[in-house]
A and B are shown apart, each in its own frame.
Chain A
């Protein structure tokens, strides 16, 4: 199986390539991609250089252009697709219908992957994207179990890529406007979710409150580690109950499910974290590369190797095991 690794900076790209990444995904430094954070991503020259470096080491580069183009400003996204092709990218990762149609028509030789932001959660939808826009690979939304993924693979020729490590969206990706409701900034339109610009920590007596857009969604005693107030992982109350009503603040680690995912017909394993440091990326990549190599060689999987990288956070196998079904 192919390991698809995040790179938020040219340095992270080089680190991931050296650590053994088969494939890198990254984006331009603007609103065209879903990790539009200050100080992250690639300018045009860095992208060209990054692709050259990756190719010289036998790695591929995928360019994520996976926000939904703004009406009246589509040319920004069109330029991104053109520049990805010029840079020599091996594929673009797209989510918007209109942008897929544009890329298929104007850049027919540039391979198209369907972003997780398109939330294609069944074979009908995946086959629709393949027929309409020649999509060759789909990144599956994080709402599916392993048997559901196997069922999808049985009904489509489109390659499937699944997230195995890192941050975890609990809502169907690309179909969530919780962040823009609270802050005005959304994943779909701005490439950000629960942005730091709208986060505020405030001491209230002996507590430390974390606010997002003014809403208090975390409270810890002072001195305790305060989690980042991501909306869907916040703490809320309903009726007499207070807690993580949507999802606990966990991150995904499906490392131990790799053999099942392989059996389910998955082509590529994706690691989340373009906002992460290069040393983090290098370590995760190294571990996952070792695990895939072991898997391909029929050797037992190394055990629990990534626990310390989850930064003391609880980890989950997400929907793949679907204990809540």
Chain B
């Protein structure tokens, strides 16, 4: 199985953003998807660094793709999406409106925010030129296996959410702005202060979700640590790791060791807890009664 790094979902300062990709140059990942997926207002702050990041990674032999925005409503956002298609780099669509700008016959990939739940949808996208699909994180292992089978037949690589806070929802409304009592158009980029999202707790003070601009994610970091063999047996091609603060390139290395058999599930779980002591883990979407569940041995309070 390959490792793919998904687009950074959070808003980081341009230097930190570029450093992430510099660090990935030597990381054992095959593919990197970058660009802005959550909020079009963030893009101008690091847009000029994108060509450098793309070049760095391509020179290091990585496959590179650019993500489209998850929610396209404004004229400016539609233009941005159209402009993506002209950058000469493969596009990962995370909203179907990007398809309007990809010429028939041009290969593209499909990100986890597009609803690919069944064989017909996968088949239709394959026909339209999709060569790789990262499945929605909500899908259980049985669906993953059924879709991996279709992927194998149609030549579409199937990717599964392997690690990172789960993208649970997008909205027209910005919750960072709402939290700070600001209108969306004058948000003053409040999300920049929360490099892994703003923690949302229940009324019992139980960590539950995080807010990231218009996006809502899980508090827990999903991890496929204990499902690797099942995913390999199902014919899944790649595992997606979603950037987080801390030694992310090191985290990629841990997953590579797990895929290569140098770490078992428990070993990876222990290494994740050691490296990110505050991070709660989950794998309930793949195998559990609900998304927040964790099949591993240890869980933080």
Among A52-80, those with CB < 8 Å from B are 68-72, 74
How far does the Cβ of A196 sit from chain B's closest Cβ, in whole Å?
A: 16
Main secondary structure, interface of A, reads mixed
Residue A186 is within 8 A (CB to CB) of chain B in the complex: yes
Nearest Cβ distance between residue A156 and chain B, in whole angstroms? 12
A215 touching B208, Cβ below 8 Å = yes
> Please, how many angstroms separate the alpha-carbon atoms of A99 and B179 in the complex?
39
Closest 10 CB pairs of A and B: A98-B120, A143-B172, A98-B121, A181-B291, A184-B290, A71-B146, A125-B97, A68-B117, A124-B100, A171-B169
User: A residues within 8 A CB of B113?
Assistant: 175
Cβ of A236 to closest chain B Cβ, rounded Å: 5
User: How many A-B residue pairs lie within 8 Å, measured between CB atoms?
Assistant: 211
Q: Contact check: which of A180, A188, A238, A325 meets B179 at CB < 8 Å?
A: A238
A21 to chain B, nearest CB (A): 29
Asked if A245 meets B178 with Cβ closer than 8 Å, knowing A72-B142, A171-B169, A188-B115, the reply is: yes
Instruction: Report the separation of the CA atoms of residues A172 and B63 in the bound assembly, to the nearest whole angstrom.
Output: 31
The answer to whether A216 and B101 have CB atoms under 8 Å apart is: no
Establish whether residues B202 and A217, one from each chain, have CB atoms under 8 Å apart when the complex forms: yes
Q: Which of A270-312 contact B (CB under 8 A)?
A: none
Contact-residue bracket for chain B: 35 or more
B interface list, Cβ under 8 A from A? 70-73, 75, 77-78, 81, 95-97, 99-101, 113, 115-125, 136-139, 142-143, 146-147, 166, 168-173, 175, 177-179, 183-185, 198-206, 208-209, 211, 216, 218, 284-285, 288-292
A237 within 8 A of B: yes
How many whole Å from A139's CB to the nearest CB in chain B?
A: 15
User: In the complex, are the beta carbons of B73 and A175 less than 8 A apart?
Assistant: no
* In contact, A209 and B203 (Cβ under 8 angstroms): yes
Contact A245 B175 (CB under 8 A): yes
The answer to whether B291 touches A188 (Cβ under 8 A) is no
* Docked pose: A245 CA to B209 CA in angstroms: 11
B211 close to A238 (CB less than 8 A): yes
- Shortest distance in angstroms between A125's beta carbon and chain B's nearest beta carbon? 4
Let me know if A98 and B172 touch, CB within 8 A: no
Which residues of chain B come closer than 8 Å to A148, judged between CB atoms?
73
Asked if B142 contacts A71 (CB within 8 A), the reply is yes
Interface positions of A (Cβ within 8 A of B):
68-72, 74, 95-99, 101-102, 119-125, 127-128, 141, 143-144, 148, 151, 170-172, 174-178, 180-184, 186, 188-189, 209, 213, 215-219, 232, 235-239, 241-242, 245-247, 319, 323-325
B95 contacts across to A, CB distance below 8 A:
125
| B73 A144 Cβ-Cβ under 8 A | yes
A125 to B143, CA, bound (A): 26
Contact of B125 (CB < 8 Å), options: A97, A177, A213, A323? A97
Assess the B170–A175 pair: CB atoms within 8 A: yes
Query: Cβ of B78 and Cβ of A124 under 8 Å apart?
Result: yes
**CB of B40, distance to nearest CB on chain A (Å):** 12
The contact of A128 among B97, B206, B289, by CB within 8 Å, is: B97
Taking CB atoms, residues of chain A closer than 8 Å to B97 are 120-122, 124-125, 128
| Given contact pairs A178-B216, A182-B290, A184-B284, A124 touches B101 in the complex (Cβ within 8 A) | yes
Given A97-B125, A144-B73, A324-B177, output 18 extra A-B contacts at Cβ < 8 Å: A74-B119, A96-B118, A97-B116, A101-B120, A102-B120, A121-B172, A122-B72, A122-B73, A141-B172, A172-B71, A177-B138, A180-B285, A181-B291, A182-B291, A216-B204, A218-B203, A238-B179, A319-B172
Most buried by B among A99, A119, A238: A238
**B188 → chain A closest CB, angstroms:** 14
Taking a contact as CB atoms under 8 Å apart, the answer to whether B73 and A71 are in contact is no
**6 contacting pairs across A/B (C-beta < 8 A):** A121-B172, A122-B72, A124-B72, A177-B136, A215-B206, A324-B184
Q: Is A215's CB under 8 angstroms from B178's CB?
A: no
Are B143 and A71 touching (Cβ within 8 A)?
Answer: yes
Q: How far is the CA of A220 from the CA of B81 in the complex (A)?
A: 45
* Chain B minimum-CB-distance residue to A236: B200
